[in-house]
């Protein structure tokens, strides 16, 4: 165990210098391998870095001034600083120390909230010896790395599910593969197991929506999905019930990783159950749609959807999370102040309806991914709670870690 006596009292100005980022045009559209950071996180890419990795970025201007850690070389625009240590310090330990000492909340009191170097440099901190810095960074970093791994896995599973949905129900790829002779009986193709061969026809017919696979029909979302309007009064909601509002919902992702708790809710809410689909009905939030990872209550600006049966779940989710559906709800939304869509409008969305066995096959392919995404969300929340409990104790020295003697 390290002795507390080996820690040294210091000031931030003695340990680090905060270097200004540089203006960069076109980072939001640019291709490049280096992450560009702004005041509150990654905002794009650049073909050249400004600073080597690993490094720490501290927001300088704006209401939200975040702290970011980058393993790789990176670029920082002029609304943020990057941190340069004045002696040998572990960069990841520095990141956690900056989080703990809340340097992102240091305010110089000017009209535009901003963090000045002078205000940061005068603040005190305690610096453990380098081996202990590394041990602290290793513990907290392992938790953060696992959370990041879960996030990436869920992104990958989602992208695969979207691609499969588009192939089956938008491009009718299985039907084309049969027509063109690319898919023969007894063969498996990517996303097309051998036993699905007989589910798909080998010709197209005309319909109101253009060419569709033979035996498929034209219908609307309301044929395969239901709106669950389960209202609940604030005083009937138990404390601690998971609560999802529009701000908890990510854009263009179906993995809902964040939620609050219902403790002081003022107005009526809707009840939802795990596995149901939540859709933000207020413009510009239509791109907010996800699968509920828990049972809970949500804002009435969110439509709670279910498929008419589990067989249609993947099909419904694929449609309501598609950019085409978002454009449809956007175009039809009413109201001048806060335009919103309604379930009636959503239900009228026209789509090509496959026979039920095809929808069921797709749901079976999708479900393991949804289950893995949901399990990852819960694991990551547990890990984040552990990290948030350990961080202040480790960085303050209240909790000491055994150091590897070989460092």
Q: Phi, psi (5° rounding) for residue 139?
A: -65, -55
In 10 A of CB 28, how many CB atoms? 10
- Give the Cα separation of 165 and 240 in Å (integer): 36
- Do 162 and 103 sit in the same domain of this protein? no
- Give the Cα separation of 326 and 120 in Å (integer): 44
Cis bond upstream, residue 74 (ω within 30)? no
- Give the Cα separation of 199 and 211 in Å (integer): 18
Q: Is 302 within 8 Å of 280 (Cβ atoms)? A: yes
- Do 225 and 346 sit in the same domain of this protein? yes
Helix axes 130-169, 313-320, angle to 10 degrees: 100
- Do 226 and 305 sit in the same domain of this protein? yes
Q: Is 101 a domain residue? A: yes
Q: How does strand 55-59 pair with strand 80-85?
A: antiparallel
- Do 251 and 190 sit in the same domain of this protein? no
Q: Write out the two tokens for 293.
A: 């990872």
**E-state strands within 123-203:** 124-127
Q: Write out the two tokens for 280.
A: 């933000």
Q: Is 59 a domain residue? A: yes
Q: Is 207 a domain residue? A: no
pLDDT of the chain along its 407 residues, tens only? 444 458 999 999 999 999 999 999 877 777 889 999 999 899 999 999 999 999 999 999 887 789 999 999 999 999 999 999 999 999 999 999 999 999 988 877 777 788 889 999 999 999 999 999 999 999 999 999 999 999 999 999 999 999 999 999 999 999 999 999 999 999 999 888 999 999 999 999 999 999 999 999 999 999 999 999 999 998 899 989 999 999 899 888 889 999 998 887 889 999 999 999 999 988 776 678 999 999 999 999 999 999 999 999 999 999 999 989 988 888 877 766 677 788 999 999 999 999 999 999 999 999 999 999 999 999 999 999 999 999 999 999 999 887 655 44
- Give the Cα separation of 117 and 12 in Å (integer): 10
User: Which pLDDT tens digit goes with each residue over 304-356?
Assistant: 999 999 999 999 999 999 989 988 888 877 766 677 788 999 999 999 999 99
Q: Is 406 a domain residue? A: yes
- Give the Cα separation of 20 and 51 in Å (integer): 11
- Do 316 and 390 sit in the same domain of this protein? no
Query: Which among 307, 248, 308, 312 is positioned nearest to 280, based on CA atoms?
Result: 248
Domain closes at, from 353, 368, 390: 353
| Number of separate domains in the chain | 3
Domain closes at, from 312, 335, 353: 353
Give the residue numbers spanning the domain of 97.
Answer: 4-127
- Do 151 and 111 sit in the same domain of this protein? no
- Do 272 and 284 sit in the same domain of this protein? yes
174, with CB counted inside 10 A (0-12, 13-18, 19+), is buried
- Do 236 and 257 sit in the same domain of this protein? yes
Q: In what order do the strands lie in the sheet with 289-291?
A: 225-227, 302-307, 277-280, 289-291
Q: Is 181 a domain residue? A: no
Q: Is 205 a domain residue? A: no
- Do 331 and 233 sit in the same domain of this protein? yes
- Do 10 and 88 sit in the same domain of this protein? yes
- Give the Cα separation of 317 and 311 in Å (integer): 11
Q: Give the number of C-alpha atoms closer than 13 A to the C-alpha of residue 142, restricted to the C-beta side.
A: 7
Q: Is 209 a domain residue? A: no
Helix, strand or coil for residue 261? strand
Q: Write out the two tokens for 207.
A: 């319909």
Q: Is 214 a domain residue? A: no
- Do 112 and 226 sit in the same domain of this protein? no
- Do 33 and 121 sit in the same domain of this protein? yes
Domain closes at, from 353, 370, 399: 353
pTM comes to: 0.87
CATH number of 51's domain: 3.90.220.20
């Amino acid at each position: 165990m390290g002795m507390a006596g080996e820690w040294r009292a210091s000031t931030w100005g003695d340990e680090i210098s905060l270097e200004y980022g540089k203006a960069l045009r076109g980072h939001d559209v640019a291709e490049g391998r280096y992450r560009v950071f702004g005041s509150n996180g990654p905002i794009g890419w650049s073909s050249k870095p400004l600073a080597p990795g690993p490094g720490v970025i501290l927001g300088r201007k704006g209401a939200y001034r975040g702290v970011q850690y980058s393993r790789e070389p990176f670029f920082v625009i002029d609304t943020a600083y990057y941190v340069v240590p004045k002696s040998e310090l572990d960069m990841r330990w520095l990141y956690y120390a900056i989080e703990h000492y809340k340097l992102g909340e240091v305010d110089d009191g000017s009209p535009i909230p901003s963090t000045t170097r002078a205000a940061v440099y005068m603040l005190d901190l305690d610096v453990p010896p380098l081996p202990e810095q590394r041990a602290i960074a290793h513990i907290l970093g392992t938790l953060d790395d696992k959370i990041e791994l879960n996030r990436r896995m869920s992104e990958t599973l989602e992208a695969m599910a979207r691609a499969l949905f588009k192939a089956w129900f938008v491009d009718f790829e299985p039907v084309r593969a049969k027509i063109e002779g690319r898919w023969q009986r007894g063969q498996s193709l990517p996303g097309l197991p051998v036993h699905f061969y007989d589910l798909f026809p080998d010709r197209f017919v005309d319909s109101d929506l253009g060419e569709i696979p033979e035996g498929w029909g034209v219908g609307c979302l309301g044929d395969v999905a239901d709106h669950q309007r389960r209202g609940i009064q604030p005083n009937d909601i138990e404390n601690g019930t998971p609560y999802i509002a529009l701000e908890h919902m990510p854009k263009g992702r179906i993995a809902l990783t964040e939620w609050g708790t219902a403790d002081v809710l003022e107005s009526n809410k809707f009840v939802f159950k795990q596995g149901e689909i939540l859709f933000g009905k207020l413009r510009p939030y239509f791109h907010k749609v996800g699968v509920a990872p828990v049972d809970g209550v949500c804002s009435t600006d969110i439509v709670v959807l279910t498929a008419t049966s589990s067989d249609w779940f993947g099909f419904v989710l694929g449609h309501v999370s598609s950019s085409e559906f978002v454009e449809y709800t956007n175009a039809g939304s009413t109201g001048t102040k806060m335009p919103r869509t309604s379930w009636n409008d959503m239900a009228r969305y026209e789509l090509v309806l496959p026979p039920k066995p095809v929808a069921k096959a797709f749901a079976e392919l999708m479900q393991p991914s949804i289950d893995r995404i949901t399990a990852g969300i819960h694991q990551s929340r547990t890990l984040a709670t552990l990290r948030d409990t350990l961080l202040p104790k480790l960085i303050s020295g209240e909790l000491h870690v055994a150091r590897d003697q070989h460092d």
